[in-house]
Amino acid sequence: MELSDEKSSRNNFLNDYEDDMDMNIYVKIKELADKYASELKNQVDARIEEMKSDDTSHYLIYRVLGVTNQEGSFIDLYQNKGRFLYKYAGAFLEEAACMCIKHKYSKAAKIRIPNTLGSRPKTFEIDCLVDGMAHEIKWRDATTDGDHITKEHTRVKVIKEKGYTPIRVMFYYPQRSQAKKIQETLETLYKGIGGQYYYGDTAWEYIKEMTDIDLLDILQKIADSRK
């Protein structure tokens, strides 16, 4: 997209929404998205260049299993791209959501609290604490590790004992059955201890109701501006 087109798209967005919300938050999230997009591209480009000198002798095993050298090359390439993409997608969305909360509640902050129920880990991180509400922000969580439940159970209890309300906000629900079962257990855990658990549409709506900012709409506008 040309710079003039980008500016025009942004101006159109601002004109459409100038009576509905503070455009300062749109600008901040757009700048955040640009930063993450640039960093993602740099990381991927560097890895692609690095992979040109990789040892590909393992392609023999790919061929044994019916995968051609060309297919194997594409698989390795996109596996590496995927790792970076998932990392940056998650970090961006989590930071954007926290940015919305901080825009409405200036005292909201990321903090660490000591683990009072065990020695590992020594501390637990709260992504965004505001007015006693301890938010854990996830873009998605596809883990199938049973230990994850144990750790999360301890984490939620520590937060509750600290006097905070544990709140989990996850924008995209996993699609595999085992990962879904993990999330169902976590939802029961949160609600059973007096916390809150939001995912999918309810996660987007929670951020909107809490902050008066339609984060989903902003992200859709930014995505459309990339065309």
- Cβ-based burial of 211 (10 A; exposed 0-12, middle 13-18, buried ≥19): buried
pLDDT at 8: 52
For the chain, the average pLDDT equals 89
Q: End-to-end distance of the chain based on CA atoms, in angstroms?
A: 7
Q: What is the mean pLDDT of residues 13-28?
A: 66
pLDDT per position as a tens digit, 146-201:
677 788 889 999 999 999 999 999 999 988 888 888 889 899 999 999 999 999 99
Share of the chain above pLDDT 70, in %: 89
Q: pTM here?
A: 0.84
Q: What is the pLDDT of residues 91-124, one digit of tens each?
A: 999 999 999 999 999 999 999 999 999 888 999 9
The model's pLDDT over 34-56, given as tens digits with 9 standing for 90+, comes to 999 999 999 999 999 999 999 99
Sort strands 109-114 and 123-130 into parallel, antiparallel or unpaired.
antiparallel
Q: What confidence category does residue 5 fall into, taking pLDDT thresholds of 50, 70 and 90? A: low
CB distance 132 to 165 below 8 Å: yes
Answer whether 144's CB lies under 8 Å from 176's CB. Answer: yes
The residues, any chain, with a CB within 8 Å of residue 21's CB and separated by 6 or more, are 212, 213, 214
Q: pLDDT (tens digit, 9 = 90+) per residue, 71-89?
A: 999 999 999 999 999 999 9
